Structure 1
Amino acid sequence: MYKTLTKLAEKVFTKSQIFKSGFNLSPMYRRLTGRIIYTSDDLLDVKIKIPISYKNKNYVGSVFGGSLFSATDPIYMIQLLHILGDDYVVWDKSAEIKYRRPAKSNAYAEFVFTSEEIENIKKDIAEKKEIDLIKKLNITDGEKTVFCELEKIIYIADKQYYKEKRKKKK
């Protein structure tokens, strides 16, 4: 459903506008309390805010750890899907979060890919057909205080290779 809506919206809006509004209006993402506050035109840079509110405060008044984690969970995967295009398969494979200190204020995270990184991903996929990409980010107060460190492993494959691989497993 989301992919179909995106294709329709591309006739009127930029990819950046669709990405930001699509996430922020999606019931799936809205419930997580995170909000996308910035997307670059090329989608290589995405920033989110997790405002502290009654919806995500825990027993001791800080942002619930699950809210911090879940607001960051879908970004890299969907960001890569849009950047790489339809010739690739992208899945979240695993994630690890290390809590460093309670988030007693709004929390922020930035999801960044460089053009070189994207070219290297495409080159690696052309050679190996599939890779596991490791991405790290910090959830902070927007300044220097780190609330959490997050590491994600993202599976990326050539779509044709992926389809053939799945056929062989059946």
Structure 2
Amino acid sequence: MTIYQKIAKVGPKLIGQDKLFKYGFNWLPMYRRSTGRIVSVSKDLTEVTMRLPLSYRNRNYVGSIFGGSMFSAVDPIPMVQLINLLDSQYVVWDKSAEIYFKAPAREDLYADFVFTEQELEQIKRDVEQQQEINLIKTTQLTNKARDKVFCEVKKTLYISTKAHYKKKRAKRQQAKAEQS
């Protein structure tokens, strides 16, 4: 168990899951380096808002926000959010990502990460039927008014039951052992 997982077990009892999510992300060294900041988290974790301010720390050669900062500010949120929204019988992994730059960002950017109750129920049904699924979640980085898109990130998340995932890993390890 990582230090982050240990904090995730104890923290909600002390300060609440939503505050732990917000302040935990904002203080994690790896997330701080992205220059993104979580500005709000709903009590039930279904809605998270992130701000990526334009600053000397993320400004590129031409004066706009560096694309790597855009991606790294968005990257971990959907996976960690979904891990916390689903119960402990599920495995969630980042599988792949695509990033599309639409316009140079010379102002603060915002992104909203939303999982609806219907979406969560559909995920559970699909995993129950198929044992594992790939979910594509799209996030747009916009201006504060949300009327201009500067960047779009499509994340593919792998979701499975823990039981299925363990069986799959065991089969893979057995196949590797037989090849050796």
**Normalising by the residue count of structure 1, what TM-score does the alignment of the two structures yield?**
0.98
Please identify runs of 4+ aligned residues in structure 1 that moved more than 2 A.
none
Spell out, residue by residue over 1:106-156, the C-alpha distance to the aligned partner (whole angstroms, 9 max, x if none).
Answer: 011001110000001011111111000011121011221110111111100
State the percentage of identical aligned residues.
51
1:76 aligns with 2:70: no
Q: Secondary structure at the match of 1:119?
A: helix
Question: 2:156 maps to which residue?
Answer: 153
1:5 aligns with 2:2: no
Q: From 117, 120, 128, give the equivalent of 1:118.
A: 120
Map 1:19-98 to 2 at 5 A.
19-98=21-100
Q: Alignment length, in residue pairs?
A: 170
> 2-side partners of 1:146 and 1:53: how far apart?
19
The code of the aligned residue for 1:10 comes to: P
Q: From 126, 142, 145, give the equivalent of 2:144.
A: 142
Q: Secondary structure at the match of 1:58?
A: coil
Q: CA RMSD in A?
A: 0.7
The code of the aligned residue for 2:154 comes to: E
The code of the aligned residue for 2:143 comes to: D
Q: Over alpha carbons, which structure has the higher Rg? A: 2
**Normalising by the residue count of structure 2, what TM-score does the alignment of the two structures yield?**
0.93
Q: Secondary structure at the match of 1:11?
A: helix
Between stretches 72-81 and 147-156, larger displacement belongs to 147-156
Q: Compute the displacement of 1:7 (Å).
A: 1.1
> 1-side partners of 2:30 and 2:17: how far apart?
19
Question: 1:162 maps to which residue?
Answer: 165
Question: 1:108 maps to which residue?
Answer: 110
Unmatched tracts of structure 1, length 5 or more: none
